[in-house]
Structure formats: C-alpha cells, structure tokens
Structure 1
C-alpha cells in the first residue's frame, strides 16, 4: 500500500509538470506569433516593406537590408512602439550608398531684381559656398537671397561646375528671370527691358554657352502701348506697302502680312506688335481691308483704332467699288466703322473747285498736299520744302498749277507748311483772304509760337488758329500716369473677361492672354498703388463669398507676380457680395456682379473714386443655374 501511494504521488507530479510544460509552450508560441503579427503590421502601415520579423520567446528580430541608415533606425523605432524596445533585436543591414542610383541634381534660380531664391538639390562634395557668394553679390547682400538648397552625398556629375558658371553669367544679365540648371541643360526664361536688350542678351548667351551644354532660351520683351492703334496700307501703280503697321498679336501680324503679300506687296515688311488694340479681332479686320484694296486694284486704307478710312483710286469703276465695299462691310467685326470714298474724276469743262491750297498731316505722320499752286517752280519748291520738313516717304503731292493766283501765294504756302510741322497732326488751308490752321499739339506754347510765325510773315489779321493741346502728345510727360495706366487696362481688357473655374479661385486657361497683356502694360507703368478687387454675387453664404472673392483677387495678383510684374505696391482684397453693380435677381445680373476690378488705392476716398476698371468674370459652369445650385451651394455659383 505504501508503494502504490508513492507511485500515485509521483505520477500526479509528473502529470502536472507535463501539463505546465505544454501550457508554457503554447503561451510562448502565442506571445511570439502576437509579437510578429503586431510588428509586421506596424511596419507595413508605415511603408517599410523591405524588412521581415521573427521571434524567439520574448525576443523579436527585425531582419533585412535598409536603404539608408535613417530607414534602419526608423524600422527599429517602429518595432519598439509595438513591443518593449529591450526585446527588439537588430538584425538589419544598410545598403551600400555607392550602389544606389544618384539623384537628379538641379538648381532653380528665381530672380526678381535684387531678390533671388535658390531651390534644388546639390552634391555634398560640391563647393557650393563660392556659388552662394556670387549670387549674394549679384543680389546686393545676403538678406536678398533665399537659400532653399538641399544636399545629397553622391558624386558631382560631369559638367555640373560648367553649367553653374554659365548660369551665374546669365543671372547677371537678367534681373527678372528663372534659370533651371542641371549638368546637361540650362533653361533660361526671362523678361528683358526692350526688344534691343532681348536681341543683345540672346546673342551673348548663345555665343558664350559651352558646347557640352544644351541651352534653352525663352526671352521676352515688353510690347509698347500704341495710342491710337494705327495701320495704313497703300497700293498705287508705283509701289505697294505700309506707311504704318501695328498688330496686337503675332498671329495678327502674320495674317496682316499675308494679306499684304496677296494684295501685291513685294519684299519684306515689318509690323510692330503692341498693346492698345481696340479689338481682339484686329487682324481679321485689317487683313479684310487690305484685301479690299487689292481687289479694287489700288487705293489706300487707314485704321485709327476702330475707324477705317478707305480711299479708292481715281477712275475706279463704281460697280466694282460697290461690290468690294459691300463685301468688306459684311466681313468686318462689329466694333469697326468703315468710311469708304470713291473720288470723282475731274471734268475739265467744269470749275476745278475753290481757290485754295490744303496741306494735311495725319496722326500717323502722313502729309498730303493738294489744291492750287501758282507755278511749276512754286510747286517744286513747296514739295521739296515739305519733304525737308517731314519724312520724304510720307509726303503725297496732288497740286495743280494756276498762274492766276495772288503774287504772295507761294510765300503763304511755305509759311503754312512751316506751322504744320509744328503740330502733331492737323491741316492748313490757304485762301486769298486768310490762312486757317487746325490741329492737335503736345506743346502748351504752340499757339503763341505759331501766331508769332504767321504774324511776322503774313500780318496779324491774316490767319485763324484752332489748336487743341493734348497731354498724350506731350513728349515731356514720360511714362503713363497711374490714371492713364488704369485707363489703358480698360482698353486692353475690352469686352473680354478674367475667368475662374466654377466655385474656386483657380484661373481658367482663357484668362492667360488677358493676364499676359496686363503684365506687359503694368511693367511699363511701374510702381503704382493698385488694388485688385474680387467681387461675387449673393449666391451662398456671405462669409464664404467674401473668402472666395479674396482668394480670386489674390490669384490674379499672384499671376501678375509670376509674370515678373512689380507688385510691392499692389494689394488684393475680396469684397464678397457687398458691392453689386447689377441686380442679383437675374442670371445676367449675377454674372455681372462676379467680377475683378482694378482700382487706384489713392483714389478710394476722393472724388475720383470712380476711376475703376470693372471686369466681370464669366466662371459659372455651363448649364448650371441658381436653381440647379440649390440653397446649400456654398458659393458654387460664384
């Protein structure tokens, strides 16, 4: 009995030990599997796909090859957030950095006069300090340089130093520029001060660029503002060409020159691209009128803004004239007004008109002499005198000899031509009784000076003056005043609109051309105090509308700044729905209220506060109405 009792006790202990061992084994396996699953899940969530996990009891092994030392440390840290960091065993390797592919090293330099920003990635072993010193010197001090360059520990690529040296040379020449650099390509995009400066810098950079570097140049020159916008094309038996040619775009210039070639122009011709066109369809209108001159077999056409004067050749058939003019009238855009004249053929049997000599000078500088002169010698003298006073190619003579004129007629004609040269444009009419002088001038003392000349040569009572002083013709005024700049903004925008994507402050692609032209004008205007205002309709909540209008005004300001406009004196302000210019009860009114305005800041509290350019935005999605938007639109219609 005693032996069997002993066996029972020993068996009991052995059974308990076996059960404990089994329980401990499964507990350890459960801990291991739980630890592995937890760590693997955390690593996967954070994108660490290159590491694996194993466990032995309480120890957790992180195994694999890390791309960098930083990645190795991050993996271990992530594992330590799941299990006790003391349990984590590091079995990680770090990849050899020499075996990794080198990154694309590049620098982007942004310069706005003295302010320069450096953005990009450069090799660690490249001596960047010398480059920074040169840039700082160009900028006029370290406070004007924003250094956002980062470094990577890889070899310096071939050609890198050569590209950097060339780029600093380009940076010195271009105060408003963006230069993108890598070891093989240097891309330069910049605004120059003039067409001459553009040609000079373009030639310089092309000549000095190293052969191993691909140079990509995109240089632009500001277009001048032309007022009035003019074009004059003539076709005669002797010559065909332009006395003056102005275009608003490169496409319009090509269209005009192609029409002139078809009308008989031979050789090369130039056409200035400028701002100030009365219509975006300038090219269509001018090319149609030039074609009409060709179809008539000759004549001349003059554009002064939207006014068109077409003069056929003497002797042109009336039926042909009517047909051609009718086609031209139908082809012209709505903004243009045509005045077509068919001269009558003189009848020798009839009186040849009043006894007078007339000389006219157009705003474009063309001079015409017509009427009576007292001898061939006097006619030759008047013509030579006119060609000396004015550009000879701009003088057209259509006078006839009348020997019965007063004896002092020739001296009166020459005196008239002298005072006509003192006007920007106008006319003189010489009759046996007196001389009448009419015209525009930019000289405030012109009337007194002209009166002095005529009184000395003709007598105090022998002339009548009708002169108008115009500031825009005054050469002493220099650059446009802020008020004139705002007025020219009106001309440039015309019937177009700055548009945004529906319900957002993102500029629509159709706004690019307007902003390009505004940027060129504002660059000429200089540092004027300008407020760019955003306005919305009353759809949606008032606070949301105010925020949207502010963001849109800021988008326009940013777009101008991106085009190298000096905007330090500008500000963007959103007024939301508080200043409507039309009713919000109709879709037409709401669209008018969604607009961008340009206002001189100094005029906000003066009597001239209405000196404003209003530009409506047509940014509502097609087919969406106030009803479609619903009450919860939150400014989607704006």
Structure 2
C-alpha cells in the first residue's frame, strides 16, 4: 500500500475547503435572491388580484398580500357581491391562495337573533343552554356554574355567534349566574336587559330571604322578574280560634287554604275587633267550604259580648260566659247553625255559673284537644292532681290543667276520675265528665265494640255499681278491619296506574292519543273508594316551547283527562284539573328521556279529609258497671230521616218539674227501656213496654159482636 505524501493530503484539504466556500456563497446568494424576489412576487400577486377586482367593479374590497397568500377584506354590499368578488379573486390567483375575510352585513330590516340563555338547576345537576353573542365570557360562565353544580354535573349547550352583544346583555348574564348559584332548584332565563327566575324554596322564610337578596343586588338597567314558590305545609288540625274577653278580641289560631281566603278571614276578624295577626297558609282544609264556616263562626262571636269560637277540622264550638244573656246566645247559636256548611257540626253552650263556697254536685272534666288534654274540676288534694296530670301526660301528651283542690269530694272520687281518664284512651276528640252519680264519656272510635270495652275498663277500675253513659261515634275510617283507604293511599294508587299505563297525547296537542279506556277503567276501580277526597289532576310539560304555551297546554291536557274520567263513569265532583307547564320538572330537559319524564299527568291530594260526609250521630249507651253487658250499638238514623238533632252529651231531657218516666219505673222495680231494637230501613221497632202503675190503663172496649179485644196502638 502506497502511503500518501504530505503534499497530496494538503491538496485534498484545499479542494474540500474551496467546495465549502463555494456552497456558502451559493446559499447566501439564494437567500439574497429570495429576499429580493419574495416581496416582488407578493406585490405582483396582490396587484394582479386587486386589478381584477377593480375591473370587476369590486372597489369596496381591500387586498393585502401575505407571502403567497392574498387576504380579501372589506364589507360586501350583499351576499351576491361577496360571492362574485371571491370568484374574481380566485380567477386571478389559485383558489388555495385566497383568504376570505369579507364581512357581510345583515339584510336591511331583518331582526337580530334572539339572544337567550337558560340555566336549569335541580337535584340531578345543572344544564345551561342558549344562544349568546361572541362577547360573552363563556369560560367564566361555565366555570362558576360548574363550581356550584359539582364535578361532572354540568351540561353545556351554549352556542356563540359572531354578532356583538346588545346593550344590557353582559350585566344580565353576570347577575343571572350570581343568582343561579344560590338556588339549587331553579330556572334562570336571561335575555338582553332582563333576568327571570323561577325557583322552589324549602319554606316561606327562605322565599322571602331570596327575594330580598336578589332585589338588593340586581344591576341598574336589568329588569328582574321572580316567581319563587314555597311548598305549603300540611296543617293538622286545620283550626281557627277567636276569643273575646272584656280586655278585647284576639285571634289565637288561624289557618287558610290560599292567600285570598286568608285575607278575607283576617278582614272579618279585624271587623270583629281582633288585633292584626297572622294566619297560616297550608294544605289540609277539611272542606272546600272552610272559609264559609270560618266567616260564619267569626260573625257569630261578633254578636256576643264575650265568648270563644273554635273550629278544629269540621267541629265548631261556640261558648260564652254564664253571664251572657241566654236569648242573645241562643240567637247567635241558631244563626251559626243555619250558616254552617253541611259537613260541619256545632257544639254550643254557656259556661256554668261559678261554684259557690259549697258547690253541689262536684264535677271533673277532661277533653282531648290539639294533641294534648285539658283537665278541669275538683280533686281531693295536690298529690292527686300531680298523679292525674302525670297519667294524662303519659297517655295523651301536653296537659292543660285547671284543677282545684276541694275538701268535700266523696269517697272513691279519685278512682272515678282516674277511671274516666283511662277510658278516654283510644277515642278521638274524647271528652269525659265525672259527677258523684254518673261518668259520661263521648268521642269518636274506630271500634264497633268500644262501648263494651269502655264498660269493662270502668268495671275493672271501679267494681260494681258505677253508673255510666257513653255517647260514641263509630267512624269506619278509623277501623282497621274495614280497611278504607286514606287520601294518601288513593293518590298513590292513581299515580301508580298512570306510571304503569300512562295516558298519551297528540304531539303539541291536548287530545288523548290512542285508546285510553283500559287506563280509565283502572282509575275508575280506584276512584270507587276514593271519590270523597279532594284530588288534583296536574298537567306537566317539558321546557320546549314558550312558558305561556306550555302552561296552557298542560292545563288543557289535565282537563282532557278529567273529561275522560267523567265520560268513563267516574265521580269527578271532587277532582280539579290544574296546569303547571314546565315549572315542576322531574328530570333535566336536555335529554329526550328527561323531557319524556317531565311530560306527565300527576295526581295530588288537596286535603286528607273526605268532603260532603254527613257527620254521624253518636250512639248513646247507658249502664252500670257489673251489670248486664251493653247492648250492641244501634246504627244511627240518617240525618235526612231524623226528626231532630241528637244531643252528644248531657242529662236526660226533662219536661216540667216532676220525675222522669225512667225514675218512676225504677222506683217500682221495673224498666221501660227496651231490651231489643229491630231496624227496618229508617223504622225502629221495640217491644211494648209494661205500663206504669200510676199511668192510665186502657181497658178493652166491647166490639159490636160483644167480644172485648185489646185496644189498638195509635198509628205512627
């Protein structure tokens, strides 16, 4: 191998260096050539396009070059001119080198788009939907709503346009977001210069707080429209109490079904002299004629110088001090009885005169009232009073005590009042009165054998020989064996039927689609036992469409269901059709499944009390502990057939000043009370009682044939 010589190596390095120098010169020359030629090519291309546009009459277009790209700017007079200008520019240069930035004004006289954003919040999450101008700070809007909703619980359906924001838009959006984050169940609608809030709160206090807070921070120039509702509580019992004393008139309790009814009741109380006070709004009115009964009761008390008028459920009580003239009290009582709706019962009485230093006879009263018990009357000592109050509190709840220690109570008085209080257990609206010679108990029971049970309880406590009188009303709705449905049971059954076989409607219409007969038949089977309850048929829609249209559509669909039920033979006298539109969604409206769930018919109980029920007359049972068992209660004669009202409690009626027939019979060792009673419709038949010794004996009269026959009883 020949070794390279130094001279040859140097020659090679020189040739390489020379090549690199030549390559560098070439690159520099190319760069300089590009720098020299690029502006000229760019200008040449722009001039060519500009010349073509000018020749075509598109002088409004501006042309700028950007390398090998030409940008078209300016405002076209109309869409056609815009298309033609772009086509002319494309003919002068390749299509890929044209960048179109020409603005097109909206047509003259055309309305700008309707910008609107709606935020819907409920337990399932938050959704925001709408059309907004390009200036809207979308990231800030979504960030604040997502922070309030929680991770993964925000649905963003907002679209932006290239149009500028109208006046008042930014302020309205910022305020709407601030309001939405405060309300977990709300729909907030934003339009330029206006924010509408439809929300549901947990109570009236929260509603008032929100309304005040929103009004305080609403920006100037933004109109705030609120529709914030609070679910009304169920009031039980539905009660009204008005008291008049020498010191003045006061409204102790008040309940009303709606604001208009409340205002009329408070106005009537104010005319009667009651100081301004509140009145609770809520559900649970025992009758749609509650207001009529309340106004009649207030008017009755207003006619008296003093007294108390109380309505609890359908029971009306009118009392007055003993010194109120009897004719005045009787007039007020009779007018009230005439004015009360049929479903209400009246108890009216004057208070007894104050007892003297040595009153006779002694008396003790106990009455169940508003979840507690009231004790009033004579006790032998304070320790007995404490024991009695402890017993009553354990059985009935809070005790209102007006007991008075008396030193003249007879032997066995403590046992008698203890037995009476114990016997009240299990009675609704129970009352007891104890005197030295009689124990009276009254109330409503769900047991047909309550009279026997109470007699046995009194006998176990007192032994033999204690006279009692029971005035009991049997209410089958309280009897577990009868199994009558409650109002809640009825509504649950109706809604279950609608969920299993929902009634469909024509799209955007109120007409029922398809064959609804099977559903109506199922509803009719439930309503056979539930027609006495006040029930609402509520129509609901999704959020598609205008609020007013949805409101009207939901009401029309509810009325269509009501009409179909009536046509199907269902008693609809106590049903009411109401439309709620889109205000009460069950699910978000941003999915088809959610919208379908929100389009529904829903039943709601208006009052847990049946309406138009005739109050049952009490069954009167008298007896003595240790004696024969009380006879089974005889069904009361219907009110329409009865000759007059049946007294709930009280002494046996007397005429004149002599002894009663019962007393005469007892003195002779006999009884004129029948042992059996036979009922045939409204006719009651009893065995012929034995004649009293002092009474006239009707001798048989001879007939024309000479035979003496017993005289026939007079025809009834």
Measured after TM superposition, the shift of residue 121 of structure 1 is 3.3
What are the within-5 Å matches in structure 2 for residues 271-420 of structure 1?
A: 271-332=279-340, 334-343=341-350, 346=353, 355-362=362-369, 364-365=370-371, 367-374=373-380, 395=400, 397=402, 402-406=406-410
Check 1:401–1:105 CA distance in 2 against 1; reply closer, same or farther (3 A cut).
same
In 1, distance between residues paired with 2:433 and 2:565? 61
Contact 1:114 1:144 (C-alpha < 8 Å) held by counterparts: no
SS in 2 for 1:174: coil
- 2:582 pairs with 562, 567, 581, which one? 562
Size of the aligned set, in residue pairs, is: 438
Question: 1:176 Cα deviation (Å)?
Answer: 2.3
Query: Offset of 1:293 from its aligned partner?
Result: 0.5
1:235 is displaced (CA, Å) by 1.9
Mapping of residues 155-304 of structure 1, within 5 Å: 155=165, 157=167, 160-182=169-191, 184-210=193-219, 213-238=222-247, 240-266=249-275, 268-304=276-312
Which structure is larger by alpha-carbon Rg, 1 or 2? 2
CA separation in 2, counterparts of 1:183 and 1:537? Answer: 44
Q: What secondary structure is seen at the aligned counterpart in 1 of 2:561?
A: strand
Distance in 1 (CA, whole Å) between partners of 2:79 and 2:110 is: 16
Query: What SS does structure 1 have at the residue aligned with 2:128?
Result: strand
Q: Using the TM superposition, give the Cα deviation of residue 200 of structure 1 relative to its aligned residue in structure 2, in angstroms.
A: 3.6
Aligned CA distance change for structure 1 residues 280 and 570 (closer, same or farther; 3 Å): farther
Q: Which structure 2 segments of 5+ residues have no match?
A: 1-56, 58-74, 85-101, 446-457, 479-485, 496-504, 513-533, 541-556, 569-576, 588-593, 606-610, 612-716
Maintained 8 Å contact 1:427/1:438: yes
Query: Cα distance, 1:426 vs. partner?
Result: 3.8
Match of 2:525 in 1: none
Give 1:180 shift. Answer: 2.4
326 and 468 in structure 1: CA distance in 2 versus 1, 3 angstrom threshold = closer
CA distance in 2, matches of 1:221, 1:427: 38
Question: How far apart are the structure 2 equivalents of 1:467 and 1:414?
Answer: 23
Q: Given the superposition, is the C-alpha separation of residues 462 and 270 from structure 1 closer, same or farther in structure 2, using an over 3 Å criterion?
A: farther
Provide the residue aligned with 1:72 in structure 2.
Answer: 79
| Partner in structure 1 of residue 524 of structure 2 | none
Match status 1:125 vs 2:135: yes
Q: CA deviation at 1:289?
A: 1.2
2:121 match: 111
Q: 2:157 aligns with which of 147, 153, 165?
A: 147
| TM-score, structure 2 normalization | 0.46
TM-score (norm 1): 0.51
Query: Deviation at 1:562?
Result: 2.2
Rounded Cα–Cα distance in structure 2 between residues aligned with 1:338 and 1:225: 22
Provide the C-alpha distance between the structure 1 equivalents of 2:284 and 2:597, rounded to a whole number of angstroms.
23
The CA RMSD over aligned residues, in Å, is: 6.2
CA contact (8 A) 1:516 1:563 kept: no
What per-residue deviation string (whole Å, max 9, x for no partner) do you get for residues 366-397 of structure 1? 7543343347x689979998999999999474
- Once residues 277 and 410 of structure 2 are traced to their aligned partners in structure 1, the CA distance between those partners, rounded to angstroms, is 45
Q: CA deviation at 1:291?
A: 1.5
Cα distance, 1:74 vs. partner? 11
Contact 2:319 2:349 in 1 (8 A): yes
Point out the structure with the larger helix share. Answer: 1
- Do the aligned partners of 2:389 and 2:399 also contact (CA within 8 Å) in 1? no
Q: 1:519 to 1:191 in 2, by over 3 A?
A: farther
> Offset of 1:175 from its aligned partner?
2.4
SS of 1:173 mapped into structure 2: coil
Go from structure 1 to structure 2 and tell me whether the alpha carbon gap of 1:130 and 1:390 turns closer, same or farther (over 3 Å shift). farther
